[in-house]
Structure 1
Amino acid sequence: MDIEQLQQFLKVAELGNFTRAAEVLSISQPALSRSIARLEEELGQPLFERQSRKVVLTDAGNLLQSRAHRIVSLVEDTKAEICDDGESGRVRLGAIPTIAPFFLPEMLSPFAEAFPKAHLTVQEDTTDNLLRRCQQGEIDVAILALPITAKHLEIEPLFEEELLLVLPTEHPLCEKKQIKLADVEPYPFVLLDEAHCLSDNIVTFCRHRSFNPISVERTSQLATVQELVSMNHGVSMIPAMAKNLDTSPRRVYRSLAGTKPTRKIAMTWNPYRFQCKLLERFKEHIRAFSQAYGL
């Protein structure tokens, strides 16, 4: 067996599907199937139980998965440590969808200019998936919103930002000089679906003030939330970083009077993986850039 085979095996085990794994790995499904078959032949044990729409790990597969994670991580860390000049190498960054398109472009650009030999890759995913990928060494650092519950990860708060009320331009609340949370209570909300932590932030803030927002529509994209608000489907709360990039005249953003809804942004990484000099410099860049954000 070789490292590439183990990486392919891990991706199939993660996704439970040969077709999706082949797409992610950028190889053909027959090639991936042959690779796994050779691995099973060498070990003399089936690694997957083939079901109608998915594959699941056998006992032998579960054992190999735990060992393969350690083997692949050890090889990658060894390569990184030997080649660690602080200028070149790969940094794999993860971010949740309500941060990635608004915070990352402006943050990544100066780092790329300062370190032209560095190769930065970005993975946008939900909080649970990013935490798992950090733990398994698939990404080096992730930027997401608190609270975070994860074992064996270092978590460092970066800044706090306000969540702004967003309304269609003709909404009656636009005429008020100050908008309180009680003023919003009669109106339906458009929220992200339950996989996104932003909705939890909004609902938790409201419930702590004896107000349970009624969600009439849920979507997977923040841009869709904004468009549905423009179409008068409801109101919502949007991170300030998203509002700063919104030039549409069809929406109005207002800061709530009194205690304001906020979210805390943090970065997380696996301290048990080798921390190369380039990664340490990248984390310092994130810290410095983050000082320009927040309340």
Structure 2
Amino acid sequence: MSHQPTLRQLRYLCAIGEHLHFGKAAQACHVSQSTLSTALQELESNLGVSLVERTHKSIIITRIGEEIIARGERILSDVEDLMAAADASRTPFSGEMRIGVIPTIAPYVLPDLLGELRDRYPDFKLFIREDLSEHLTRALETGELDLLLLALPYRAERVETEHLFYDEFLLACDPSHPLTERPSICTQDLAGSELLLLEDGHCLRDHALEACRLSLKDVSVPYHATSLNTIVQMVASRIGITLIPKMAVDKQILSGTNICVRRLNDTNVHRSIGLMWRHKSPRASEFRLFGDMVRKLNEPDAAGPASEQEGDLVRSGSGHPAAV
């Protein structure tokens, strides 16, 4: 007679299904590889079926393994929602919340947000995971995370989303670049340029191109970087130009450089920043309150952004108006 699987065994199996690598799965579950392997063997023995086929170079999920992983993900998600229902019965921000944030938002939004939460809700425990959208949405679907702060839209199943605010894309280049001589710049002026982008997997790359109505065939991409900070240094070294989120500029990512930042003379050159949570989560009202806080902290100043005050001229990394 088969014994019932434990939640721990299901969680380890789902991690193996996600990473297709025992070492990476064990690391994601914060256990040793031997602990994970033993739990898998126990699960296979209890169920009387083979879930994973091991080879020297890779692992293969069996057909029944894929079915059990799919069911296991739903079970884990339901268990997390059960816990969330209990949390939702308490006063908002009195328990804990596990949130995922993408790297092109986290450094520019979290510092002010964490300070506000600490001052207003000292007993609230917020656990943060910074990762790519693909990994975060998977963690949300399996119940590892409660809420995501990311750029929308992003494809995911059985989720709800809420737009919070728009983050404008600005053109960043060296002051000697020919584009800086133009009285105004539109997105089509970027065609044929050497445009520095983040590597594949960062949604900022796709959202920036989409906002500018460009595709990879319209531009030359000399390098793919792993972070915005790397791209900034490459632009400062005259390797190319880039599209940079205004929230990063506002938080002084260009500090210490002479990079020129220009506003693009087009409409809707921005990305949507928003929240994502599991469909019908009992904590939806608390998530919306969280979103209200993020929105309020990121509202434009009453005087308007510098780019509006100075036409399409923004500011250089030195803090002075960019010379164009």
User: Normalising by the residue count of structure 1, what TM-score does the alignment of the two structures yield?
Assistant: 0.87
Q: Which residue of 2 aligns with 1:85?
A: 90
1:259–1:88 Cα change, 3 Å: closer
**Conservation of the 8 A alpha-carbon contact between 1:158 and 1:290:** no
- The corresponding residue for 1:62 is 66
Aligned to 1:13: 17
Q: What is the correspondence of 1:155-166 to structure 2 with a 5 Å cutoff?
A: 155-166=161-172
Post-superposition offset of 1:258: 4.7
Offset from partner CA, 1:59-100 (integer Å, 9 cap, x none): 332232122223223333323333542243321212222112
Q: CA RMSD in A?
A: 2.7
Q: Aligned pair in 2 of structure 1 residues 288, 171: CA closer, same or farther (>3 Å)?
A: same
Q: Measure, in 1, the Cα distance between the counterparts of 2:274 and 2:86.
A: 30
Larger displacement relative to structure 2 (229-238 or 284-293):
284-293
2:261 corresponds to = 253
Amino acid of the structure 2 residue aligned with 1:146: L
- Looking at structure 2, the residues matched to 81 and 184 of structure 1 have their Cα atoms a distance apart, in angstroms, of 49
1:198 is paired with a residue whose SS is helix
Aligned pairs for 1:165-176 (under 5 A) are 165-174=171-180
Matched positions, count: 294
Alignment of 1:131-280 (within 5 A): 131-174=137-180, 177-181=183-187, 184-185=190-191, 187-207=193-213, 212-245=218-251, 246=253, 247-259=255-267, 261-275=269-283, 278-280=286-288
Look up the SS of the partner of 1:204 in the other structure: helix
Answer yes or no: is the 8 Å Cα contact 1:85–1:277 preserved in 2: no
**CA distance in 1: counterparts of 2:147 and 2:102, whole angstroms:** 12
Amino acid at match of 1:156: E
- The answer to whether the 8 A contact 2:76-2:142 is kept is no
**Preserved CA contact (<8 Å) 2:191 2:214:** no
| Correspondence for 1:46 | 50
Aligned residues with identical type, % of pairs: 31
Residues 164, 291 of structure 2: 8 Å contact kept: no
CA positional deviation for 1:207: 4.1
Q: In structure 1, give the amino acid aligned to 2:274.
A: A
For the 8 Å contact 2:80–2:143, the answer to whether it is kept is no
Q: How does 1:14-33 map to 2 (within 5 A)?
A: 14-33=18-37
**Any stretches of 5+ residues in structure 2 without a counterpart?**
306-324
Corresponding residue of 2:101: 95
Report the AA paired with residue 238 of structure 1: I
Post-superposition offset of 1:188: 1.4
Secondary structure of the 1:150 match is coil
Question: How high is the TM-score relative to the length of structure 2?
Answer: 0.80
- Cα deviation code 1:103-153 (max 9, x no counterpart): 222223212332222221222233333333333322222122233333422
* 1:126/1:250 CA distance change after superposition, 3 Å: same
Which of 182-191 and 237-246 deviates more?
A: 182-191
C-alpha contact (below 8 Å) 1:7/1:72 kept by paired residues: yes
Change (3 A) 1:18 1:242: same
Which runs of 5 or more residues in structure 1 are unaligned? none
Q: How big is the shift at 1:287?
A: 3.7
Closer/same/farther in 2, CA of residues 39 and 181 from structure 1, 3 Å limit: closer
* 63 and 291 in structure 1: CA distance in 2 versus 1, 3 angstrom threshold: same
Distance in 1 (CA, whole Å) between partners of 2:230 and 2:127 is: 25
Equivalent in the alignment of 2:8: 4
Of 101, 110, 113, the match for 2:116: 110
Query: Would you say the 8 A contact 1:111–1:282 is kept in 2?
Result: no
Give 1:177 shift: 4.9
Please point out which of 286, 294, 299 is paired with 1:286: 294
Is the 1:137–1:273 Cα contact (8 Å) retained in structure 2? no
- Pairing 1:76–2:84 present: no
